[in-house]
Amino acid sequence: MITFPNAKINLGLNIVERRADGYHNLETVFYPIALTDVLEIVPAADGTTSLQCYGRPVDCPVEKNLVMRACRLMQHHYDCVPAVEMHLYKHIPDGAGLGGGSSDAAHVLTMLNQMFKVGADDATLAALAASLGADCPFFVYNRPMLATGIGDVLTPVELDLKGMTLMLVKPPVSVSTKTAYARVVPRPSVSDLRSDVKRPLLQWDGVVKNDFEVSVFAEYPQLGHIKLQLQRGGARYAAMSGSGSAMFGIFDDVKMAEALIGCFDGCDTFVTPL
């Protein structure tokens, strides 16, 4: 079986408070996008579970890779899941705030569930996914969701950006999530994000905000410059996804976005319909 694990962007990201356990409560809207990896899973002929990675380098031992961990999790909980051979082609950049690794892991859960007729429902798979990472459960449902708690409490959001065009810009820097959280100042939300994202896009600026931008832009000024270029290039809305370093702009049409491709030297750029 072959599937295409997709990335996500964050529409707004409010860091609400620091918890007693050291984690942070947040509010954000996860929105799925069409930038994908490629994942193939087949039964293992030799009875040994394996993972081969291609494309973008994956700097992680195989047994610690989220794909392998997701597979081991299913094999642990369900005896009907046998040894499998997995092939992962990485196209989604790592360290970008796009959730590529989390998506790969969640898709392993859903693929194995389907391939071997496990019979687990989405809620059960999402609970398993939560043990792999806070944003993994989102990719089980893979539709617009308001995420609260540490990002693992999900509520559907009626939001449809079809007809718009997304431009992603990933500079050659990776932002440490731990560092980003250490430098952000938590504060209670002053508005309802679920309602804010239903406003016209031109009203999002200054309302649908990513709290990480202040501290991350201070350390990586290039990211702030990219956001400004996207806005000046006609984006109706531009922001950083997650804790970075991917920046995105939402445009009325593909030509406006494609006209900017050559403006970001040394960066990976992707243009895709929403």
Which pLDDT belongs to residue 175? Answer: 85
State the pLDDT confidence band at 86, using cuts at 50, 70 and 90: very high
Mean pLDDT within 184-205: 92
Q: What is the pLDDT of residues 29-66, one digit of tens each?
A: 999 999 999 999 999 999 999 999 999 998 889 999 99
Which pLDDT belongs to residue 183? Answer: 85
Neighbours of 207 (CB within 10 A): 14
Which pLDDT belongs to residue 23? Answer: 86
Strand, coil or helix: 58: coil
Residues annotated as catalytic are 8, 135
Q: Please tell me the CATH code under which domain 2-156 is placed.
A: 3.30.230.10
Q: What is the pLDDT of residues 152-164, one digit of tens each?
A: 899 999 999 999 9
CATH homologous superfamily for the domain 165-273: GHMP kinase, C-terminal domain (3.30.70.890)
**CA–CA separation, 254 and 268 (whole Å):** 17
Q: What is the pLDDT of residues 216-257, one digit of tens each?
A: 999 999 999 999 999 999 999 999 999 999 999 999 999 999
For residues 21, 102, 132 and 86, what is the CA-based torsion angle, rounded to 10 degrees? -160
- Alpha carbon 149 to its chain centroid, in Å, reads 17
Its pTM stands at: 0.95
| φ/ψ (deg, to 5) at 272 | -150, 145
Domain boundaries, the chain: 2-156, 165-273
Which pLDDT belongs to residue 179? Answer: 79
State the pLDDT confidence band at 95, using cuts at 50, 70 and 90: confident
Query: Which residues, in sequence order, are CB contacts of 105 under 8 Å at separation 6+?
Result: 66, 67, 69, 70, 129, 132, 133, 136, 139
